[in-house]
Chain A
Amino acid sequence: MRGLRRSFLFTPGNNPAMLLAGPIFGADALILDLEDAVAPGQKDAARILVAEALGKIPYGGVETVVRINPLSTPYGEDDLRAMLKAGPDTILLPKAEPRALAQASAMIQEAGAKTGILGLLETALGVETAFECGGIPVVTGLFFGAEDFTADIGARRSAEGLEILYARQRVVVAAAACAIDSIDTPFTGIDLGEDFFADLEVTKKLGFTGKACISPRHVEGINRALSPSAEEINYARRVLEADAEATRRGLGAVSLDGRMVDAPIVARARATLRRSGLDPGPASEPAPGPAWGQTPERASGPTPDREGERP
C-alpha cells in the first residue's frame, strides 16, 4: 500500500533474512533491490526470491518498492515483467530518462497493473528532463541518485554535497511542479553521526518529501525530520476545526489567530495531518486527487494536498 512516503529503506533482494526483517524498522517504504545489491550471476535467483517475498511476507502498511535493473540491461525487462505478476506497490526504475520511463509506464498500463513508478534520476539527462519524467503516466515520484549522477557528470562526491545541490533542487522543483513526491539520495554511511544529520537537514531544507536510506538506523531520524512538528500538527487541527465551523455556519472563510482560513490553508492543514500519519477526516468539499498519469497540464487544477505542502 502507499501511505506516508518519508523513509525508503534499501534491502538487498538476494538476502532472505533481510527481506523478512525489512518491514519491522518503521520505514514507510521498503526498496527490494535487484540492481546494485545483486551480483550479475544472482540476478535471476534474486528476482524469484523477491517475487516470492512479495507474495508471502506480510509487509502490512509498508509500501513495497522493487528497484529493477535498468531497461537497457539484459535483466531490466525480465525484472519488470516478473514484478508485474508479483505486484509490488511501486517500481523504482534506475537510469530513468523519459524514454525508459515511458517504456516502463506502457508495460505497466498494458498489464493493467496498479503499480506506480518512481523514476530514479541518476544521469545528467535524467536530471535535466526531470519535469518531463515526472509527467509520464503512473510516475508517482522522482528519486534522486547522487552516486551515479556525480559519476555521469564527472564530479567527485563530497561531504558538503555542493556538486549535487543543483540536481537536488531541480528534482524537488520538477516533482513539485508535477505534484508528485521527491525522494532524496541516501546518506552512504551507516553510523548515526553528525554527518548523517547534516545531510538530512539539507534534504529537509531543500523540500524533499522523502529520503532513501541504506541502514535501518537512519529510518527514525528521517521519519522525524520529514514529519510535521507537534506545533504544525496542532495548528493544522485548529485550522480544520475552524473550517468545519465555517461550513456549519455556511461561511466561505473564517479567521484563525487573526488570519483568514481559506481553501489553500485548509488543504495544507489536511496534508500536514496526512504526512504525520493522522487521518484528517472527510473533506468538507472533496477535491479529486490526480488519477494515475495525470500531468499537471492535464489535471483539472492544482492538487490541493500537494499545493498545501508547499506554501
Chain B
Amino acid sequence: MSLNSIGRDIPDSHVGSRLLYQGPWARTPEGLRHAPPLGSIRPGDSKIIPSLREAIAASGLRDGMTVSFHHHLRNGDHVLNMVMEVIAGMGIRDLTVAPSSLFPVHGPLVDHIRKGVVRGLQTNYALGPVAEAVSRGELPTPMILRTHGGRVRAIEAGELAIDVAFIAAPAADPYGNINGVYGPSACGSLGYAAADAQHARFVVAVTDNLMPYPLRPVSIPQTRVDAVVVVDKLGEPKDIVSGSTRITRDPVGLLIARSAAEVIDGAGLIKEGMSFQTGAGGTSLAVAAFVRRYMEERKITASFGMGGTTGYFVQMLRDGLLRSLLDTQCFDLEAVESLRDDPRHVEVDCGYYANPWNKGAVVNLLDTVVLGATEIDTDFNVNVVSSSDGIIMGGSGGHADTAAGARLALIVTTTRRTRLPIIRDRVTTVTTPGETVDVVVTETGVAVNPRRADLADRLRERGLPVVSIEDMKKQIQDLTGKPSPAAVTDRVVALVEYRDGSLLDVVYQVKQD
C-alpha cells in the first residue's frame, strides 16, 4: 500500500507508473499535446456513410481499441447503446469505452461487459446498472473515474487515447459541421464532445437531423469530422433536457441556501463583476435565487455565470444580472433556446472550462462555486462517487475542478440523508480533496475549513452560526449513530484520478450477500 498526501491507501499493484496525489497543484505538465494523425478529404469525397456498421468498418476499429461518447443527451441517449450493439455484432472485443458520463439508460453496456466486448471503462460520472456492475466487480479492469477537466487533460496528454469518437449530433450538415441547438434531440452546448473531436483518430458524427451545408453555428467543425451517419433517432427528448428546473420548496433546502448566500456575501464575493457557478439541483438554484436578491438590492452585475445552465441562470442573463453565461451543457429547454438565440450565452468546451493543463481554464476565474456532497469528512474531503454502502453512483464531473479553481468552494448539504449521516470521520471515497473545500453549509450551521480562519472570523462577525466540522459531525452522529464502513473486498474496481491525473483514491468491490 502507498499513502497519498491526504492519507488514502492506494494498493501498490495499481500505482505502477502512476503518481500519487500530492496536492492540487503538485504536478507540473511536461511534454507535447497528443494529436490525431493527419488526413485529408478530397474534392468530391462524401462524408455521408449509410450505416453505423459501415462507418465503424471505415474507422478501422479493432479489438482492444478505445471508443468515446459525450453525455449531452444525458439519460435520453440512444447513441452509445446503438453503436455498441453494432460493434458487438461485428465481433469486435476487449474495447475500452470512454463516455464523458454514464447514465441508467446505458444499462445494455453491462451485457457487453459480460460478453467481453468491453474490457475497460473511463468516465467522469457513472450512475445506474453499469456503475452497479462495476461495483460488483464485473469489469475485468478497474474503471477510471476522472473529473471533467481531468478527462480533457488526459485526452490532450495522450493518457486517454481515443481511437474512434462517436459524436451524437442533434444537428449536422453533410460535411460534418455539428451543433446541439437544432432538431428533435437538441441538447444545447456540446462542450464535452470537443476534446474527443479534436484528438480522436477517427470521428463519426451520428445525427437524426441532417441540415443543409453550411450549418451555423458550428460547435464542432467539419475539419475534425471523418464521417456522418444519419439514424432515425438520437434519443428520447424528454430525458435529454427537462422541461424546466425549479428552485426547491423544501424548507430545509431553502434554509441551507439562504445561509450559503450569506456565506458568499460574508466572504465579500457579491460585488460588481463577480462570477459564480451553481449546480442544477433545487438547493443550488435556491442559492442563486438568494444571491440574486443581494445583486438586485445593490444593483450588481456579474461578469459571468458558469454552467451547467438552467432557465434560472438564463433569466438572470435576460434581466441584466449576468453580462454573460459560459456554458458547457444545458439542463433545460430554456437554456437550449437561450444558447441558440442570445449571443451573450456562450458555448465553451470542457477544456476551456476546467482542464488544469492548458493556458487558463474558466474555473480559475470563478469567485464562488456551490457544490453538493454525498459524504464529507472532518478533513473536508468530499465524496460524490460512491454511496455509503460502497456502490458507485456518481462521479466528480466538475466538482474537483471547480473546487480547485474557485476562490470560495462551498458545499451545501443536509447533515443526514434518511438515516445516514453525511458528515463522518472518513469518507468512503475521496472525490474532492478537503484542501480545496472552503466551507460546508448545512441546516445545523456553517463549518469553515481551518485553512480559512480569516473567513471564519468574518462569518462569525456577520452572525452566522459557525461551528467546527467535528461538532457538526458529533451533533448528527449523536442522532444517527456512527456509520459502519462499507462492506467491501480487497479488489479494486475503480481508480479515482485527480484532475492532474494523480491517484486520489480507489473504489473497492462491494461484498455481496
Q: Contact residues of A with B, CB < 8 Å?
A: 20-21, 24-25, 56-58, 215-217
Instruction: Contacts A215-B251, A216-B251, A216-B255 given; indicate if A21 touches B443 (C-beta within 8 A).
Output: yes
Give the chain B neighbours of A20 by CB distance below 8 A.
Answer: 416, 479
Q: Does B300 contact A (CB under 8 A)?
A: no
Going nearest first, the 10 A-B pairs with the smallest beta carbon separation are: A216-B251, A24-B443, A21-B252, A24-B255, A56-B479, A25-B251, A25-B255, A217-B251, A24-B444, A58-B475
Q: Does B478 contact A (CB under 8 A)?
A: yes
Q: Contact residues of B with A, CB < 8 Å?
A: 251-252, 254-255, 416, 443-444, 475, 478-479
Interface of A is mostly: helix
Give the chain B neighbours of A25 by CB distance below 8 A.
Answer: 251, 255
A59 to B55, CA, bound (A): 65
A24 to B254, CA, bound (A): 11
Please determine whether B479 and A57 come into contact, CB atoms closer than 8 angstroms: yes
A24 to B475, CA, bound (A): 13
A58 to B416, CA, bound (A): 15
Besides A21-B251, A217-B254, 11 more A-B contacts (Cβ < 8 Å) are: A21-B252, A21-B443, A24-B252, A24-B255, A24-B443, A24-B444, A56-B479, A58-B475, A215-B251, A216-B255, A217-B251
Please determine whether A58 and B251 come into contact, CB atoms closer than 8 angstroms: no
Give the chain B neighbours of A215 by CB distance below 8 A.
Answer: 251
Task: Report the minimum CB–CB distance from A56 to chain B (whole Å).
Answer: 6
A21 to B252, CA, bound (A): 7
Task: Report the minimum CB–CB distance from B476 to chain A (whole Å).
Answer: 10
Please determine whether B478 and A58 come into contact, CB atoms closer than 8 angstroms: yes
A21 to B414, CA, bound (A): 10
Give the chain A neighbours of B255 by CB distance below 8 A.
Answer: 24-25, 216
Give the chain A neighbours of B251 by CB distance below 8 A.
Answer: 21, 25, 215-217
- The residue of chain B having its C-beta at the shortest distance from the C-beta of A217 within the complex is B251
Give the chain B neighbours of A21 by CB distance below 8 A.
Answer: 251-252, 443
A293 to B187, CA, bound (A): 69
A20 to B416, CA, bound (A): 10
A57 to B475, CA, bound (A): 10
Give the chain A neighbours of B252 by CB distance below 8 A.
Answer: 21, 24
Task: Report the minimum CB–CB distance from A114 to chain B (whole Å).
Answer: 24
Task: Report the minimum CB–CB distance from A32 to chain B (whole Å).
Answer: 16
- The residue of chain A having its C-beta at the shortest distance from the C-beta of B414 within the complex is A21
User: Can you sample 20 A-B contacts with CB below 8 Å?
Assistant: A20-B416, A20-B479, A21-B251, A21-B252, A21-B443, A24-B252, A24-B255, A24-B443, A24-B444, A25-B251, A25-B255, A56-B479, A57-B479, A58-B475, A58-B478, A215-B251, A216-B251, A216-B255, A217-B251, A217-B254
Give the chain A neighbours of B254 by CB distance below 8 A.
Answer: 217
Give the chain A neighbours of B475 by CB distance below 8 A.
Answer: 58
A142 to B475, CA, bound (A): 34
Task: Report the minimum CB–CB distance from B455 to chain A (whole Å).
Answer: 22
- The residue of chain A having its C-beta at the shortest distance from the C-beta of B478 within the complex is A58
A20 to B414, CA, bound (A): 12
A57 to B444, CA, bound (A): 13
Give the chain B neighbours of A24 by CB distance below 8 A.
Answer: 252, 255, 443-444
- The residue of chain B having its C-beta at the shortest distance from the C-beta of A216 within the complex is B251
Task: Report the minimum CB–CB distance from A100 to chain B (whole Å).
Answer: 33
A304 to B85, CA, bound (A): 84
A20 to B254, CA, bound (A): 16
A21 to B478, CA, bound (A): 15
Task: Report the minimum CB–CB distance from B422 to chain A (whole Å).
Answer: 13
Task: Report the minimum CB–CB distance from B470 to chain A (whole Å).
Answer: 16
- The residue of chain B having its C-beta at the shortest distance from the C-beta of A220 within the complex is B258
Task: Report the minimum CB–CB distance from A217 to chain B (whole Å).
Answer: 6
- The residue of chain A having its C-beta at the shortest distance from the C-beta of B444 within the complex is A24
Task: Report the minimum CB–CB distance from B444 to chain A (whole Å).
Answer: 7
Give the chain B neighbours of A217 by CB distance below 8 A.
Answer: 251, 254
- The residue of chain A having its C-beta at the shortest distance from the C-beta of B419 within the complex is A16
Task: Report the minimum CB–CB distance from A4 to chain B (whole Å).
Answer: 16
Give the chain B neighbours of A56 by CB distance below 8 A.
Answer: 479
- The residue of chain B having its C-beta at the shortest distance from the C-beta of A21 within the complex is B252
Task: Report the minimum CB–CB distance from B441 to chain A (whole Å).
Answer: 12
A24 to B479, CA, bound (A): 15
A108 to B478, CA, bound (A): 30
Task: Report the minimum CB–CB distance from A132 to chain B (whole Å).
Answer: 38
Task: Report the minimum CB–CB distance from A135 to chain B (whole Å).
Answer: 37
A139 to B444, CA, bound (A): 32
Give the chain B neighbours of A216 by CB distance below 8 A.
Answer: 251, 255
Give the chain A neighbours of B416 by CB distance below 8 A.
Answer: 20
- The residue of chain A having its C-beta at the shortest distance from the C-beta of B256 within the complex is A24
Q: In this complex, which of A24, A216, A217 has the most chain B Cβ atoms within 10 angstroms of its Cβ?
A: A24
- The residue of chain A having its C-beta at the shortest distance from the C-beta of B252 within the complex is A21
A215 to B254, CA, bound (A): 12
Task: Report the minimum CB–CB distance from A98 to chain B (whole Å).
Answer: 37
Give the chain B neighbours of A58 by CB distance below 8 A.
Answer: 475, 478
Task: Report the minimum CB–CB distance from B299 to chain A (whole Å).
Answer: 24
A21 to B416, CA, bound (A): 11
Q: In this complex, which of B251, B475, B479 has the most chain A Cβ atoms within 10 angstroms of its Cβ?
A: B251
Task: Report the minimum CB–CB distance from B413 to chain A (whole Å).
Answer: 14
Give the chain B neighbours of A57 by CB distance below 8 A.
Answer: 479
- The residue of chain B having its C-beta at the shortest distance from the C-beta of A20 within the complex is B479
A25 to B251, CA, bound (A): 8
- The residue of chain B having its C-beta at the shortest distance from the C-beta of A190 within the complex is B249
A25 to B255, CA, bound (A): 7
A21 to B254, CA, bound (A): 12
- The residue of chain A having its C-beta at the shortest distance from the C-beta of B465 within the complex is A24
Task: Report the minimum CB–CB distance from B307 to chain A (whole Å).
Answer: 28
A217 to B253, CA, bound (A): 12
Give the chain A neighbours of B444 by CB distance below 8 A.
Answer: 24
A215 to B252, CA, bound (A): 11
- The residue of chain A having its C-beta at the shortest distance from the C-beta of B442 within the complex is A24
Task: Report the minimum CB–CB distance from B466 to chain A (whole Å).
Answer: 15
Task: Report the minimum CB–CB distance from A54 to chain B (whole Å).
Answer: 13
- The residue of chain B having its C-beta at the shortest distance from the C-beta of A16 within the complex is B419
Task: Report the minimum CB–CB distance from A120 to chain B (whole Å).
Answer: 24
Task: Report the minimum CB–CB distance from A278 to chain B (whole Å).
Answer: 13
